[in-house]
Amino acid sequence: MRFFLIIAVLCSLAGVAQATSASSEPHKAYLTLIIDDLGQNLTRDRRVLALPGPVTTAIMPDTPHAAEFAREAHKAGKIVILHMPMDPATGPFAWHPELPVEELGKRLDAAFEAVPYTAGINNHMGSRMTAQPQAMAWLMAELQRRHKFFVDSRTSAQTVAAAEAQKIGLAHVSRDVFLDDERTEAAITTQLQTAIKLAHKQGSAVMIGHPYPQTLAVLERELPKLKAQGIDWIDIKLMISVRSNQAMSAHGKNGIYR
């Protein structure tokens, strides 16, 4: 009887130890980085390609080096996406609410032609355009037809873009943190730390930055430290898989976009 009692106690202790060990295992924290507004300056933009990890290059179609830089980024193994101008952006490719679907399609075709090797798109500006349900629904269906994913830059709280993507099961994610609304190294460093804390809290965070000298200086200095902070820096495609088309708490409720 005493023997069985000892065995029971040992089993109980083993169970407690196993549970303690499991609970002490750190949660995964994933981070992904998109750099917008590329294609304007090759010397500057090449610093983005030299960043030590899977940065996503978002290239504007109406820039002088769009095609050349897209080829360089692709050759360097970086994911290329189209940084699509949307109202209030201007220019020959820009989408505006008053344009008919036929014109939206022509501008999208031209933009994809200007930026080769694209795996998906995100919006450049777009606070007015991404609030248009009909146009966004058309865009998501078109991206699904083209086998492209969508990143909602969330330039406005009124965006319905990700919600429309979610409705049809289009691969997509939404931005969590803008790194450089304030162009100082101190502010950018603070935003990067905000993204890291958010990744630990909710499991992942999507960052968007720009090729400003201050942003690149911070990223060159801080990105190599991510692993030591418990962060896995992953590419945008893997982030889409991690999130499984679900909205984060800041973007919706119970995984559904507001």
Boundaries of every domain in the chain? 28-251
- Averaged over 206-228, what is the pLDDT? 98
DSSP 246: P
Q: Report whether the peptide linkage leading into residue 213 is cis, meaning its omega lies within 30 degrees of zero.
A: no
Distance separating alpha carbons of residues 14 and 20, to the nearest angstrom: 10
Q: Who's near 135: CB < 8 A, 6+ residues apart?
A: 95, 97, 101, 104, 129
Express each pLDDT in 178-213 by its tens digit.
999 999 999 999 999 999 999 999 999 999 999 999
Q: Is the pLDDT of residue 107 over 90?
A: yes
- Averaged over 234-247, what is the pLDDT? 98
* Predicted pLDDT of residue 26: 56
* Predicted pLDDT of residue 165: 98
Phi-psi region of 74 (alpha: psi -120 to 50; beta: other; left: phi over 0): alpha
Helix and strand counts by DSSP (H, E) for the chain:
9, 11
In the chain, the percentage of residues whose pLDDT exceeds 90 is 89
Q: Which of 94, 126, 118, 97 is nearest to 108 (CA)?
A: 94
Express each pLDDT in 8-66 by its tens digit.
434 444 444 444 333 444 579 999 999 999 999 999 999 999 999 999 999 999 999 99
Q: Which of 139, 51, 64 is nearest to 97 (CA)?
A: 139
What is the dotted CATH code of the domain comprising 28-251?
A: 3.20.20.370
Distance separating alpha carbons of residues 77 and 112, to the nearest angstrom: 19
Phi-psi region of 37 (alpha: psi -120 to 50; beta: other; left: phi over 0): left
> Phi and psi at residue 180, in whole multiples of 5°?
-135, 40
Phi-psi region of 256 (alpha: psi -120 to 50; beta: other; left: phi over 0): beta
Query: Do 175 and 208 touch, CB atoms closer than 8 A?
Result: yes
Write out the H or E segment, with its range, that includes residue 74. Answer: helix 66-75
